[in-house]
Amino acid sequence: MQLTHEENQFERKTFPITLVCDHIYFQQNIGSLFRAGEAFGVEKIIFLGKDIPLTPRKINKTSRSTHLRVPYSVIEETTELIDYLTQNDFEIIALEITSNSKPLKEVIIPENKKIALLTGSEIDGISKELLKISNQIVHINMFGNNSSMNVVQATSIALYELTS
């Protein structure tokens, strides 16, 4: 028998993970990132960019009201985000395919340190400025002809790896 949301036996838990969304503007993705973030117990979501479309009516369909339960903030300038991440001693993990990225399964999670998981825009990925300050750059091994996947799918896979 399928269980309802109220009947499931999952342990409620929050992890010291801040999800950082670099210039993500598609409202369906924003709503789904709230949903994935809430499902994997992230502490907070930071949206980087100007005019991020956080209209509850538009994102509610994909967020399923999780945007009401996950704390979030918007930082408009990359330099301000870099200051925040470096001054607060985050382990910065970028989810991006680069010439020096390593497979996600090889990620090193330091003990007693907050994690900032960086995810990139639907068009351009993670900015060079943010990649420069990343402690680790990881990618998801893929075996088809396509070399990328939707930001929400990739983020969900990464959060699963970081929290399991």
Q: What is the pLDDT along the chain (164 residues), one digit of tens a residue?
A: 777 766 666 677 788 999 999 999 999 999 999 999 999 999 999 999 999 988 877 787 788 878 878 999 999 999 999 999 999 999 999 999 999 999 999 999 998 899 999 999 988 999 999 999 999 999 999 988 877 789 999 999 999 999 98
Please give the model's pTM, rounded to 2 decimal places.
0.92
Domains, in order of start, for the chain:
15-163 (3.40.1280.10)
Q: Which CA distances in Å does 40 have to 3, 58, 68, 84, 111? A: 19, 22, 15, 23, 18
SS3 content of the chain, % helix, strand, coil (to 5): 35, 25, 45
Report the first-to-last Cα separation within the chain, whole angstroms: 25
